[in-house]
Structure 1
Amino acid sequence: MRILLYGATETGYTVASQLYRKHDLTLIDDVDRLPDKFNNLDISFVAGNGADVQVLERANAARADLFIACSLIDEANIVACWTAKKITEAETICFVRRMELYRNLNSLSQNRYQSRYDIDTIIWPEQLLTQDIFRIISVPDAIDVEYFVRGKAKLFEYRIKESSIIRDRRIMDCSFPPNVLIVGITRDHKLFIPNGASIIRADDKVIFMGTGPALDNLAAQFFQNVNRIKTAAVIGGGSVGFMLAQKLEQAGIKVKLIEHDPDRCNYLADNLKHSLILQGDGTDLELLEGESIGASNVTVCVTNNDEKNLLCSLLAKQLGCERIITRVGNVRNSTLFERVGIDVVVSPRDSALKELLNRLHAKDINILALVEGGQGEVLRLTLPEEFETTLVRDFKLPARAIIGVVKRGRNVIFPHGETGLLAGDQLIIFTMARDAEAIKTAFAR
């Protein structure tokens, strides 16, 4: 695929580093000198403004399949996408940072004003981050959650604690509930697909796939916190804090929101009818103690400052909060945050990248989800009409993979070795990203 990327920003680098190996990528920016880190990527560079027709022509925009605008200026991204639409049929993806622009460009009420210059996809990282945080809060102790087959199949990721009863045990020795499979383990930031003899270690991030009820049973048997979240503390009343509080209110969760700016507090108080708005500093230990933040089921730190988020998180943890979710702006800080004991580290850039990669693969309906920053993929593949009935244990794939779900008509089956696979079955397969193409090719034969 030929991709034009406008914006030599941190987001631009994250996108480019994920895409350049498999795609013909050209970067556009009006900088005098390209940042050094981009020089390590095998990409082309065109100097100039992404909204300039002549610059786009120099970048062969007419031949592009995809145009991504992620400069630091929202209006520049929007105009660049509009301009690209004038000279190319490429799909356009536009990053924005402001709520009002996202709503104006993405609102269903604007459909009556549609034109050929409309932007195909609007990505607002803060909105995606909010969705990710809320989904994680909704599942006690999980650090990642994905849904498949209209919610009939789910993927939950848990971090194994020192006190876990499955620590240092082989998978085959753990009596997991029926309809639950371990499909992946991340250890020292590297994802791998285990087998029955694999030993689960402390601090592993283990990925389970199964039905909702089965995963609920899993949590009840093997994970300590099985109680529904009832109270939440949110530190930071920006876009993410505000939208998250709205979602938590709708879910019936009591919210205490701490925000430093008095004017912003007034706005929050006017628009959040069931949340307690506290004007103050989230690093003020006296405030946190006085408002019993440590008694909250979960504390979410979502200010725009990594250092402040880390300090707020550590204070809340010291006060006894059951679970901490912390926003990180600089993804290089994620490992540090995890090492000092933060339960879940989330990033708007990671949320946006996951959405972008999913959009990029939207035409390829075989890819359902990306896991661990793209290290793993969840594929949906259909067995051909000429396929002869085969047991799962005898079904050979060209690379290591796990069949997590078999969809047969309206039935959803969580297979084991003796499950028969039939022609027309739709398989949901977990595999490493590096092996995904080989597996898809095998099904295409």
Structure 2
Amino acid sequence: MRLFRKEPKAEQLKVIIIGAGEVGYHIAHRLTRENKQVVVVDQQPEALRRVAEALDVQTIRGSGSSPVVLHDAGAEDADIILAVTDSDEINIIACLFANIISPASTKLARIRNEEYTLYRDALAQDILNISMIINPEVEVVKNIDRLLSLPGAVDYSEFADGRIRMVGMRICSGPLVGVRLMNFRTVISDGDVIIAAIVRNDELIIPTGMDEIRADDVVYFVCTESSLESVRNVVAALEDPIRSALIVGGGNIGMRLATLFERKGYHTKLVDRDEERCAVLAEKLNSTIVLHGDGTDQDLLREENAGTMDAVVCLTSDEETNILCSLLAKNMGVRKTVARINKVAYQPLVRAIGIEHSVSPRLSAVNSILHYIRKGKVLSSVAIRGEEAEVMEALAEAQSDIVGRPIHKLSFPKGALVLALVRGTEVVIPSGDTVIEPQDRILILSTRQAVSDVEQALMVKLKAY
């Protein structure tokens, strides 16, 4: 006789978001589409009105640093509390009171001031119990560095401590054009490479063997570090490495990037409109040439020989300035430009006018937050092409439904695909017969519609006994 324990009904995850700016709005947007219970707190009625009109969430007007407001938001029974306002101080105080009201909840805070992040360990201790400090500026600098380091890449992410890479490459010509995926091994014989997704005319395709690669597609390859060269050879992405760069915008991101470029030995120039800021930058930076001026001034760009630079990175706080500067640089012959685009809605527009590389501090913050929201042992999460799909790195727990069964027998929904797994020190690009073992680190691509079902598959289930 077998006895069964009834599995408890899955409870709806409750998330409180403090701050209804771009980061808060897009996290709320993402979660409501996944049927999660969301409460948004903000002091600005206009920001709350935007959220309330567009999303099915509860809104509360007030400061997230107020324990009374947190109580009204239902912090006592919240699973996750996200403090993502533009004020580091409000975010820290919000986590302080949230920890008093709801010690068991997961707390995440957006903190950009380096003076605070130096005390990261103290912030994680009992008094605040912050599970993660989110600094989107650091993530943006890392993203720019990856994009510039890999010629031809329009998107680039790393998983499993860098052992697995996912790179989006635009296919303009070459042997992959016209090839069906069932035959792509005739072009790329490297067994450590798999095609995860295709973006065509801004539409995401989770491909089958019958799908064909076309010119101008952005193809997402998943591979090991040593197999990146195989991908680059096939897509003819063999540009010379970056040796010189012009940075437009000397804010925190611009200064961090200039510091990184100095360490890499790049010949670097930095332009900023604010004369006082230029003086600060000149004092803090070493070999970078700091220029006072407007990055959209064509005469200035010509005087500084911007057209001979390997890369121009536009990082002002104004999207229109960054877009115009990038277009001017491309017109002068710069082979690689990167523009900071804060508004997510602008992303498809900038690609349409020829700006291939863009970065967003807000999207970086969203990606940093997502894996804490996911159920199951999700270690990291990266969105692809806005919100259409997500790649999750997860740990296979012994009692979950995915362990001990061949991949082709998993009850994964349509739109979900196991891309790779790490077993010990070995990276495995799986076939349908590959069996997932306990403690494997698995990489899963999921469309937005399939995320909730993937989460359920990753969770520990109570077995018969």
**Shorter-chain TM-score: which interval?**
0.7 to 0.9
Paired AA for residue 109 in structure 2: C
2:16 is aligned to: 4
Paired AA for residue 68 in structure 1: L
Q: Which residue of 58, 66, 82 maps to 2:72? A: 58
Q: In the superposition, relative to structure 1, how do residues 286 and 122 fare at CA in structure 2: closer, same or farther (>3 Å)?
A: same
Offset at residue 288 of structure 1 (A)? 1.4
1:356-379 C-alpha deviation (Å, 9 max, x unpaired): 112333x73235322313422334
1:350-399 C-alpha deviation (Å, 9 max, x unpaired): 111111112333x7323532231342233435386997785x6x555433
1:183-212 C-alpha deviation (Å, 9 max, x unpaired): 111223332211222122333221101111
Higher RCO (Cα < 8 Å, 6 or more apart): 2
1:19 is aligned to: 31
Q: Which residue of 166, 176, 196 maps to 2:176? A: 166
Paired AA for residue 430 in structure 1: L
Stretch deviating more after TM superposition (214-223 or 313-322)? 214-223
Q: Which residue of 210, 218, 240 maps to 2:253? A: 240
1:93-115 C-alpha deviation (Å, 9 max, x unpaired): 2224xx5xx32332147639954
Contact 1:104–1:110 (CA under 8 A) maintained in structure 2: no
Stretch deviating more after TM superposition (32-41 or 255-264)? 32-41
Paired AA for residue 302 in structure 1: L
Contact 2:167–2:222 (CA under 8 A) maintained in structure 1: yes
Offset at residue 173 of structure 1 (A)? 4.3
2:353 is aligned to: 340
Contact 2:41–2:63 (CA under 8 A) maintained in structure 1: yes
In structure 2, C-alpha distance between the alignment counterparts of 1:388 and 1:137, rounded to whole Å: 41
Matched, 1:398 2:412: yes
In structure 2, C-alpha distance between the alignment counterparts of 1:164 and 1:264, rounded to whole Å: 46
Contact 1:26–1:59 (CA under 8 A) maintained in structure 2: yes
2:320 is aligned to: 307
* 1:183 counterpart SS class: strand
* 1:234 counterpart SS class: strand
Counterpart mapping for 1:33-432 below 5 A: 34-89=48-103, 90-96=105-111, 99=112, 102-108=113-119, 111=122, 114-161=125-172, 163-174=173-184, 175-178=187-190, 179-361=192-374, 364-366=376-378, 368-372=380-384, 373-374=386-387, 375-380=389-394, 382=396, 390=406, 395-400=409-414, 401-416=416-431, 420-421=434-435, 423-424=437-438, 426=440, 427-432=442-447
* 1:412 counterpart SS class: strand
Offset at residue 329 of structure 1 (A)? 2.0
Identity %: 29
1:246-299 C-alpha deviation (Å, 9 max, x unpaired): 112222222121222222222222222122222221112122122221222221
Offset at residue 67 of structure 1 (A)? 1.7
Offset at residue 75 of structure 1 (A)? 2.7
2:10 is aligned to: none
Contact 2:151–2:237 (CA under 8 A) maintained in structure 1: no
Q: In the superposition, relative to structure 1, how do residues 378 and 92 fare at CA in structure 2: closer, same or farther (>3 Å)?
A: closer
2:3 is aligned to: none
Stretch deviating more after TM superposition (182-191 or 376-385)? 376-385
Q: In the superposition, relative to structure 1, how do residues 438 and 78 fare at CA in structure 2: closer, same or farther (>3 Å)?
A: closer
Offset at residue 440 of structure 1 (A)? 5.2
Offset at residue 121 of structure 1 (A)? 2.8
* 1:434 counterpart SS class: helix
In structure 2, C-alpha distance between the alignment counterparts of 1:430 and 1:135, rounded to whole Å: 21
Paired AA for residue 285 in structure 1: Q
Which stretches in structure 2 are left out of the alignment for 5+ residues? Answer: 1-12
In structure 2, C-alpha distance between the alignment counterparts of 1:327 and 1:62, rounded to whole Å: 38
1:26-80 C-alpha deviation (Å, 9 max, x unpaired): 1223345641442332212223322222222222221222222233443333322
Stretch deviating more after TM superposition (264-273 or 70-79)? 70-79
Paired AA for residue 43 in structure 1: V
Q: In the superposition, relative to structure 1, how do residues 231 and 164 fare at CA in structure 2: closer, same or farther (>3 Å)?
A: farther
In structure 1, C-alpha distance between the alignment counterparts of 2:275 and 2:189, rounded to whole Å: 50
Contact 2:107–2:131 (CA under 8 A) maintained in structure 1: yes
1:146-170 C-alpha deviation (Å, 9 max, x unpaired): 2223322211111233x45533432
In structure 1, C-alpha distance between the alignment counterparts of 2:434 and 2:80, rounded to whole Å: 41
In structure 1, C-alpha distance between the alignment counterparts of 2:51 and 2:26, rounded to whole Å: 11
Which stretches in structure 1 are left out of the alignment for 5+ residues? Answer: none
Considering only aligned residues, what root-mean-square deviation do their CA atoms show, in Å?
2.8
Contact 1:367–1:377 (CA under 8 A) maintained in structure 2: no
* 2:128 counterpart SS class: coil
1:108-156 C-alpha deviation (Å, 9 max, x unpaired): 4763995423544332332322222122222222122222233222111
Query: Structure 1 length normalisation: TM-score?
Result: 0.88
